[in-house]
């Protein structure tokens, strides 16, 4: 085979190779563009579907906590299905991918057992509903208003306006105090009286004045009774009742009233006193 023939064969091979590269490149490029289009459209459809489900549940007066949780679960599930579908379109064997995903899921599950525990606890919180969004609770070492119940953590806004994220498992495995569950709560205060004071008159005065404090409930009635005694005199237990939303307003207003009313009624100031007996021996 002479040199001219070799050159002709080489040119033909290069032409065939370039044609193949162009063909496969064009096909793969079209698939990539189509996959991007599928992703964009799929994400939009997922958002629309989740919105429709949440609106439908909202019309049935479903709790906002359930709406957010259901929306998160549907979004994650549909996104996984979308990714698997796009990989299948690109020619990736989805059966192999599913097996790989299961293996990876098992490894992640063993490594991230805490996250899965939080996920499971979030489901129990949604189903059993020990609290809901908007409730004022104390759980997991945090006290505040529940802002959101997520898949893995619950957002709680503390009274000093600090947003705190607490793992659902920690909340669900701990004691939970829900201050918003009942229609009212008790404000616990004390008032120190002098031993020389007329405690009956003080009790009657405080019951009358505290009952007039804004947002103090008439039923149950205000409780003012002797709690204990110390060296100064009797200590009164002062117990007004109010709605949770008005707790601190009633707390501070009642404290201010104790100072003002007992002073205005000229009750003796509670001051510690000791009786000292001095004996002088005759020498």
Residues 136 and 244 sit within 8 Å (Cβ to Cβ): yes
pLDDT value, residue 111: 56
Q: pTM for the full model?
A: 0.59
Per-residue pLDDT band at 165 (split at 50, 70, 90): very high
DSSP secondary structure of 98-142 = HHHHHHHHHHHHHHTHHHHHHHHHHHHHHHH-SS-TT-EEEETTE
Query: Residue 260: its pLDDT value, please?
Result: 92
The size of the chain, in residues, is: 283
Taking only the tens place, the pLDDT of each residue in 214-262 is 999 999 999 999 999 998 999 999 999 999 889 999 999 999 999 999 9
Domains of the chain: which residue ranges? 7-111, 129-178, 185-264
Q: What fold does the segment set 185-264 form as a domain?
A: Alpha-Beta Plaits (3.30.70)
- Model confidence over 172-182: pLDDT tens digits? 888 999 999 99
> How high is the pLDDT of residue 66?
67
Task: Please enumerate in sequence order all residues whose Cβ is within 8 A of that of 159, keeping only pairs 6 or more positions apart, or say none.
Answer: 143, 144, 248
Going by pLDDT thresholds of 50, 70 and 90, the confidence category of residue 109 is low
3-state secondary structure of 228: strand
CATH class belonging to 129-178: mainly beta
d(CA 155, CA 98): 34
d(CA 184, CA 165): 27
**What is the chain's Cα-based Rg?**
36
- Indicate the DSSP class of residue 213: S
Q: What is the pLDDT of residue 154?
A: 92
pLDDT of residue 192: 93
* One CATH from 1.10.287.70, 1.10.287.1260, 3.30.2040.10, 1.25.40.10 for 7-111: 1.10.287.1260
**Helical packing angle, 64-89 and 94-111, nearest 10°:** 140
- For Cα atoms 116, 122, 124, give the angle at the middle one, nearest 5 degrees: 110
pLDDT > 90 in the chain, percent: 37
Tokens of 58: 């909202």
124-133, 134-143, 205-214: which range is least confident on average?
Answer: 124-133
């Amino acid at each position: 085979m002479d040199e001219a023939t070799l050159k002709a064969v080489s040119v033909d091979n290069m032409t065939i190779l370039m044609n193949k590269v162009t063909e496969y490149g064009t096909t793969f490029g079209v698939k990539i563009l189509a996959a991007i289009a599928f992703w964009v459209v799929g994400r939009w459809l997922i958002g629309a579907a989740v919105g429709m489900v949440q609106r439908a549940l909202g019309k049935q007066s479903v709790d906002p906590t359930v709406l957010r949780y259901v929306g998160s679960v549907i979004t994650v599930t549909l996104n996984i299905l979308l990714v698997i579908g796009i990989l299948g379109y690109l020619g990736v064997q989805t059966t192999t991918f599913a097996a790989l995903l299961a293996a990876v899921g098992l490894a992640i599950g063993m490594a991230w057992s805490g996250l899965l525990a939080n996920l499971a606890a979030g489901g129990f919180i949604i189903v059993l509903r020990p609290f809901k969004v908007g409730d004022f609770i104390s759980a997991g070492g945090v006290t505040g208003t529940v802002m959101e119940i997520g898949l893995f953590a619950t957002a709680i806004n503390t009274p000093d306006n600090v947003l705190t994220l607490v793992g659902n498992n920690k909340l669900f495995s701990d004691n939970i105090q829900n201050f918003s569950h009942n229609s009212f709560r008790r404000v616990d205060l004390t008032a120190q009286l002098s031993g020389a004071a007329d405690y009956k008159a003080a009790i009657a005065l405080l019951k009358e004045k505290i009952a007039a404090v804004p947002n103090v409930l008439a039923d149950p009635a205000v409780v003012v009774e002797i709690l204990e005694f110390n060296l100064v005199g009797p200590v009164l237990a002062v117990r007004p009742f109010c709605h949770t939303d008005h707790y601190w307003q009633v707390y501070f207003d009642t404290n201010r009233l104790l100072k003002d009313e007992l002073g205005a009624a000229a009750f003796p100031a509670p001051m510690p006193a000791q009786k000292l007996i001095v004996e002088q021996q005759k020498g």
